[in-house]
Amino acid sequence: MTVIPSTEHVNPNAGAVRPSGSDSGAVRPSLVGLTRVQLRQALQDFGIPERQLRMRAGQLWRWMYNRGVTSFEDMTDVSKELRAALAGAFSLDRLEIVTEQISNDGTRKWLLRLAPDELGRRHEIETVFIPEEDRGTLCISSQVGCTLTCSFCHTGTQTLVRNLTPGEIAGQVLVARDRLGEWPSQLEKAANPPVSGRYITNIVLMGMGEPLYNFDNVRDGVDILADGEGVSLSKRRITLSTSGVVPEIVRAGDEIGTMLAISLHATTDKVRNELVPLNRKYPIAELLQACRDYPGLSNARRITFEYVMLKGVNDSIADARRLVQLLKGIPAKVNLIPFNPWPGTGYECSDWDTIEKFAEIVNRAGYSSPVRTPRGRDIMAACGQLKSASQRLSARQKAELAAAAGTG
Ligand code: SAH
Ligand code: SF4
């Protein structure tokens, strides 16, 4: 494929809300992104009487997460006085959009800036929206960077890490809804609103980071998104992808309750040790046992096994046969991912006919094995290409990427 120069909109604040200062110059904390428990606590600390807490928290929750309002003024069932008082103490700020890029295939990528951490650093994360004919998938991040070092993954080369808060995890969805025009008031005005009422029909935790190394915040962030009085997206439409943090997998099924995807990528420990170094700690047999033990598995609720196709590394016929053997007895589907190149990688994507042969063997064994179409490669939005984009690419890196994508 050819790389078409990205259409980059340096967003001059449209849709982005900065931390607000009150008249006294103090920063007003945002209520957007709080969990139910945190919201109640914030309102209690603010002085809302005990007997009203439940009702007020419920009202604000619905305005923030179901209607997506950006001003307390719009909360029409809250008294004028209380609206003014809330606006004096809090904001409804979202994550700040630094850039929005739109790929020639319609994929959108946002670079989002987080609030300062305890050292005053403002990290950035990436979120990607992938529109398809029958669905729209939002790929969200769970950490800044990743502590793991999978050798084929761009994020793995970025060492800087902090866990995202529940509000930052759910906040990515709120920003995407703003920009896509998915809130009820925006949909009312849309020329061609989606039949289901949603542009974002699915969420995958496949952006930057290892979600199971940020367990509690991912659980709470998912709960904000799945809450029936908020964004109200079924947990069956949310998929958590893990590189294989074995001790947390079964617990994730019990406590987070989303669909599960496993980044398998190899059929022998020798190869997987190289690709996913975490395999040295939790080898394939233990990983697959945890999958067998994942609560609620059935043919209607399968585990997705992700398998990145790397030329000459993991793409042989013998690999395909071993893969089928390994998955025996697990309600599974296989997602074959053509390797997405990034500047400086030593890997190449498998040839197309190799991928097809591989898929055929897996298919014939009864596993659905779609090959994931690379999306948004021109804006470095494809799987495994995310990295703090504040780091600009040099001309040489861009040329390398174009050359690699051309052969991919
Ligand atoms: N840390 C989690 C989720 C984020 S990565 C995990 O590893 O599962 C999401 C998916 O993208 C994983 O399957 C990952 O292995 C895959 N991926 C990473 N780099 C890639 C690349 N360069 N090309 C294609 N897929 C890649
Ligand atoms: Fe981290 Fe997943 Fe990339 Fe591995 S593939 S480095 S676990 S983000």
Do both 124 and 216 map to the same domain? yes
Provide the CATH number for the domain around residue 71.
1.10.150.530
Higher-pLDDT residue of 305, 386: 305
Average pLDDT over residues 262-284: 98
- What does the block give as tokens for 386? 């995310």
> What pLDDT is stored for residue 3 in this prediction?
26
**Structural domain for 327, as ranges:** 96-379
Whether pLDDT at 202 is above 70: yes
- CB 383 less than 6 A from any atom of ligand 1: yes
Ligand at shortest distance from the CA of 240:
1
- Number of Cβ atoms within 10 Å of the Cβ of 164: 27
Instruction: Pick from 139, 142, 150 the residue to mutate for probing ligand 2's pocket: most ligand atoms within 8 Å of its CB.
Output: 150
Given the CA of residue 261, which atom of ligand 1 is nearest to it?
8
Do both 164 and 224 map to the same domain? yes
**Which of 73, 92, 111 finishes a domain?**
92
> What pLDDT is stored for residue 8 in this prediction?
36
Residue 391, in any domain of the structure: no
The DSSP call for residue 134 is S
> What pLDDT is stored for residue 155 in this prediction?
83
> What pLDDT is stored for residue 343 in this prediction?
87
Do both 279 and 321 map to the same domain? yes
- Number of Cβ atoms within 10 Å of the Cβ of 57: 22
Higher-pLDDT residue of 203, 145: 203
36-46 and 50-61 are packed helices; what angle lies between their axes, rounded to 10 degrees? 130
Average pLDDT over residues 180-185: 96
Distance in Å, CA 138 to ligand 1 centroid: 15
Given the CA of residue 242, which atom of ligand 1 is nearest to it?
8
Nearest CA to ligand 2 atom 4: 150
- CB 206 less than 6 A from any atom of ligand 1: yes
Can you tell me the distance from the alpha carbon of 136 to that of 148, in angstroms, rounded to the nearest whole number? 28
Number of domains in the chain: 2
CA R_g for the chain: 22
Distance in Å, CA 151 to ligand 2 centroid: 9
- CB 155 less than 6 A from any atom of ligand 2: yes
> What pLDDT is stored for residue 383 in this prediction?
64
Do both 84 and 141 map to the same domain? no
Residue 397, in any domain of the structure: no
Instruction: Pick from 169, 337, 385 the residue to mutate for probing ligand 1's pocket: most ligand atoms within 8 Å of its CB.
Output: 337
Given the CA of residue 209, which atom of ligand 2 is nearest to it?
8
> What pLDDT is stored for residue 9 in this prediction?
35
Nearest to 281 by CA among 144, 142, 149: 149
> What pLDDT is stored for residue 26 in this prediction?
66
Residue 345, in any domain of the structure: yes
Provide the CATH number for the domain around residue 124.
3.20.20.70
- CB 210 less than 6 A from any atom of ligand 2: yes
pLDDT digits (tens, 9 = 90+) for 18-50: 345 444 556 899 999 999 999 999 999 999 999
Whether pLDDT at 153 is above 50: yes
Average pLDDT over residues 200-217: 97
> What pLDDT is stored for residue 326 in this prediction?
98
Residue 405, in any domain of the structure: no
Do both 82 and 145 map to the same domain? no
Nearest to 106 by CA among 75, 126, 127, 129: 129
Do both 185 and 297 map to the same domain? yes
Residues marked as catalytic: 126, 383
pLDDT digits (tens, 9 = 90+) for 46-103: 999 999 999 999 999 999 999 999 999 999 999 999 999 999 999 999 999 999 999 9
Residue 393, in any domain of the structure: no
> What type of residue is 190?
A
Q: How confident is the model at residue 6 (pLDDT cuts 50, 70, 90)?
A: very low
Given the CA of residue 208, which atom of ligand 1 is nearest to it?
4
Q: How confident is the model at residue 398 (pLDDT cuts 50, 70, 90)?
A: very low
Residue 136, in any domain of the structure: yes
Do both 207 and 263 map to the same domain? yes
Do both 83 and 183 map to the same domain? no
Can you tell me the distance from the alpha carbon of 102 to that of 204, in angstroms, rounded to the nearest whole number? 19
> What pLDDT is stored for residue 229 in this prediction?
97
> What pLDDT is stored for residue 408 in this prediction?
30
Can you tell me the distance from the alpha carbon of 101 to that of 17, in angstroms, rounded to the nearest whole number? 18
Do both 353 and 214 map to the same domain? yes
**Phi (first) and psi of residue 304, to 5 degrees:** -90, 130
Average pLDDT over residues 215-224: 98
> What pLDDT is stored for residue 160 in this prediction?
78
The strand pairing partners of 203, in sequence order, are: 138, 238
Distance in Å, CA 395 to ligand 2 centroid: 26
Residue 14, in any domain of the structure: no
> What pLDDT is stored for residue 372 in this prediction?
82
Do both 176 and 309 map to the same domain? yes
> What pLDDT is stored for residue 14 in this prediction?
34
Distance in Å, CA 134 to ligand 2 centroid: 28
Q: How confident is the model at residue 156 (pLDDT cuts 50, 70, 90)?
A: confident
> What pLDDT is stored for residue 117 in this prediction?
80
The DSSP call for residue 211 is G
Do both 346 and 300 map to the same domain? yes
Given the CA of residue 156, which atom of ligand 2 is nearest to it?
6
Higher-pLDDT residue of 404, 342: 342
Q: How confident is the model at residue 120 (pLDDT cuts 50, 70, 90)?
A: confident
Do both 117 and 169 map to the same domain? yes
Distance in Å, CA 210 to ligand 2 centroid: 6
How confident is the prediction for the chain on average, in pLDDT?
Answer: 88
- Checking 387-390 for CB contacts under 8 A at 24+ apart, the result is 387/126, 387/145, 387/154, 387/155, 387/157, 387/158, 387/208, 387/342, 388/123, 388/124, 388/125, 388/126, 388/144, 388/145, 388/158, 388/160, 389/99, 389/109, 389/111, 389/124, 389/126, 390/98, 390/111, 390/124
**In 3-state terms, what secondary structure has residue 217?**
helix
> What pLDDT is stored for residue 25 in this prediction?
54
Residue 385, in any domain of the structure: no
Ligand at shortest distance from the CA of 383:
1
- CB 340 less than 6 A from any atom of ligand 1: yes
Ligand at shortest distance from the CA of 159:
2
Whether pLDDT at 394 is above 60: no
